[in-house]
Structure 1
């Protein structure tokens, strides 16, 4: 019986792209395996993921935005008192009512000054768009204080008036003019403030409520 001759065929492993005949060393990974390992390593994050930098200004601005909103609430209460005082002078129901209205108007002007001071203590620069909005609000409150004082002088001049017969002199005109400028500044403030209020879940107001 013819014995079978077993031919051993030695198959050499080559690195892809390497010169022919260059064998891979025993124990060394092939180039394709090494590349795959490198890609897997690059895909895996190293260490904990950092928070998104875009969300950081929002988190930082939340507290000053809430503080500014609290001032708006105080301002809304003052506006109602001023409106009532001006109406009291206009109606001239009695001398005592006009005198009380004058006192209320002067007190409102002082409170407006206080709001401006309180606003200066808030870090509005930490609110995205807060600096420009605060500048408009500061202007609005200063104009409102000017109007309050002008109307208070008008109330002083109206002492001794008769119901339905209240004089409207230069102080009254100054009050109306300053009030109009205050309204313009408030509207511009609200245009800038509305998206900030929405961002932080704060009330969206109109110029009558600040």
Structure 2
């Protein structure tokens, strides 16, 4: 065999060896890399999690993201003001019974009635549609405050009656029709406040707000 022929055979073997080595040690096409378990990891998988969780899945809702929380806080602020006049009402009714400080009692009771009606107005201005049972809750709160205002008005009128001649007997105010109507309205208010309390307290517990009994509304 001549020298040129031998040289050609040697070069051919070298080329063949390089081709086999490339095939064995990662020289395949891009399709092979995609199919192999150890393929190109720089490509983003369609199911790879993003910053907010798995792709295509809504992020978990946390209490801070709950849209009902701001509504619950606003209602809590209103409820915090609902008990402001209670002490004045109790004191005024006791004074009427004893025929003491009647003009002041009447004025304080009318002021309390105005405050209760103001609560109803403020309640109407709140958006609470995200709260569970919001219709029943707002209905019972409005009923409670309206009945309380009605009772305050009746007791204030009773104070006016007690201040008249023969309105008191032995330092005690004579009961009148206003007394009875005030007591009836107060009873309705108590029932509505109890219902409102039962509806509010689970919401308060959920959002870390103040639980309130019926006598605190």
TM-score by structure 1 length? 0.74
Is 2:116 the counterpart of 1:112? yes
Q: Which string of whole-angstrom CA distances, capped at 9 and with x for unpartnered residues, describes residues 22-76 of structure 1?
A: xxxx75549x858x99xx94653256334325757x7322222222222222221
User: Residue 143 in 1 paired to residue 147 in 2?
Assistant: yes
Instruction: Give distance in 1, aligned partners of 2:214 and 2:171.
Output: 29
Q: Which residue does 1:167 correspond to in 2?
A: 174
Alignment-derived partner of residue 128 in structure 1: 132
Q: Distance in 1 between matches of 2:103 and 2:170?
A: 14
Q: CA deviation at 1:135?
A: 1.5
**Aligned mates of 2:170, 2:70 — CA distance in 1:** 49
Partner in structure 1 of residue 7 of structure 2: none
User: Counterparts of 1:66 and 1:82 in 2: how far apart (Å)?
Assistant: 27
Distance 1:89 1:51 in 2: 61
Give the aligned partner of residue 199 of structure 1.
Answer: 206
Who is 2:77 aligned against? Answer: 70
Q: 1:64 to 1:46 in 2, by over 3 A?
A: closer
Shift of 1:129: 2.9
Contact 1:150/1:171 (<8 A) preserved: yes
Change in Cα spacing, 1:102 to 1:163, as seen in structure 2 (3 Å) is farther
CA distance in 2, matches of 1:124, 1:88: 39
Q: 8 Å contact 1:64–1:124 — kept in the other structure?
A: yes
**Aligned-pair RMSD on alpha carbons?**
2.6
Specify which of 51, 58, 65 is matched with residue 59 of structure 2. 51
Is the CA contact (8 Å cut-off) linking 2:76 and 2:209 kept in structure 1?
Answer: yes
Contact 1:60 1:127 in 2 (8 A): no
CA displacement at 1:137 relative to structure 2: 0.4
Gaps of 5+ in 1: 1-25
Structure with the larger RCO, 1 or 2 (CA within 8 Å, 6+ apart)? 1
Change (3 A) 1:203 1:48: closer
